[in-house]
Amino acid sequence: LTGTSREQRAFQYVLAHAIPGDPHHILQTFDQWCYRCEHLSCVGPDKGRIVERVLLERAPLQVLELGTYCGYGTVLLAQALPPGARLYTVEGDPQHAAVAEKVIRLAGFSEQMVELIVGPSEEVIPRLREKHGLMKANLVFMDHWKRCYLRDLQLLESHQLLAEGATILADNVLFPGAPHFLQYAKTCGKYHCKVHRASLEY
């Protein structure tokens, strides 16, 4: 009725209530909106703690996020990165990317630290090295279309974009589910797999 998207309404709420330059408070404000007003498919606070723990354990310097959506996961990742790290985040929907860009900059992250790339992941991944300067990702966070998980993992492999010992963190592999990705990860012999039990966001 308002002519604005759910994501834009959420951003307006964040803009009105969150402290600029405070990533933690921006995430909390998103959570308040999602609990009280409208559901967004963000990582959320429960799974967010798992993501933060993995980042603290791994301390990756080159991070790739597939599925920026409205920037919640991007801010979550960026705030937990070690000094000197760089985050590349890929979003296929230009309208979602426009919201995410504002959220990321509102949180205080520069383009030097967080680069938002707009386009389909299958087109962006082959260009990551020569166009965007990503040599080898130490950590990949997958939170886009589940049907694309396996294809994009294999694209990253074929373009040699995964550093030795890289961590692949994939959301919602059990529900809604990414069975082909999960089967490949468990049986191809390249990865040690661990399933983190969590509830759905909000």
User: What CATH number is associated with residue 49?
Assistant: 3.40.50.150
Name the active-site residue from 172, 186, 190, 194: 172
33, part of any domain: no
pLDDT above 90 as % of the chain = 95
Annotation marks residue 194 as catalytic: no
Round to the nearest angstrom and report the end-to-end CA distance of the chain.
24
Looking at residue 100, its pLDDT comes to: 98
77, part of any domain: yes
Looking at residue 174, its pLDDT comes to: 92
Q: What is the mean pLDDT of residues 103-128?
A: 98
- Would you call 33 helix, strand, or coil by DSSP? helix
Q: What is the mean pLDDT of residues 84-98?
A: 97
11, part of any domain: no
56, part of any domain: yes
- Which of the four pLDDT bands, split at 50, 70 and 90, describes residue 3? confident
Annotation marks residue 201 as catalytic: yes
Q: What is the mean pLDDT of residues 2-19?
A: 94
Q: d(Cα 88, Cα 31) in Å, to the nearest integer? A: 23
Annotation marks residue 138 as catalytic: no
Name the active-site residue from 7, 31, 65, 146: 146
Annotation marks residue 146 as catalytic: yes
Looking at residue 87, its pLDDT comes to: 98
Residue 1 has pLDDT above 70, yes or no: no
Mean pLDDT computed over every residue of the chain: 96
Residue 2 has pLDDT above 80, yes or no: no
Annotation marks residue 123 as catalytic: no
123, part of any domain: yes
The one-letter amino acid at 134: L
Number of domains in the chain: 1
Name the active-site residue from 171, 186, 190, 194: 171
Name the H helices within 37-161: 44-58, 72-79, 94-106, 121-124, 128-132, 149-158
9, part of any domain: no
- Would you call 62 helix, strand, or coil by DSSP? strand
Residue-wise pLDDT tens digits, 184-197: 999 999 999 999 98
Positive/negative CA dihedral, 199, 191, 60, 63: negative
**195 contacts 175 by C-beta, under 8 angstroms:** no
Looking at residue 200, its pLDDT comes to: 84
Q: What is the mean pLDDT of residues 48-52?
A: 96
Q: d(Cα 136, Cα 64) in Å, to the nearest integer? A: 9
Name the active-site residue from 65, 101, 143, 152: 143
pTM check: above 0.85: yes
28, part of any domain: no
Q: What is the mean pLDDT of residues 156-182?
A: 96
3, part of any domain: no
- Would you call 88 helix, strand, or coil by DSSP? strand
**156 contacts 126 by C-beta, under 8 angstroms:** no
Q: What is the mean pLDDT of residues 94-119?
A: 98
Residue range(s) defining the domain that contains residue 48: 43-188
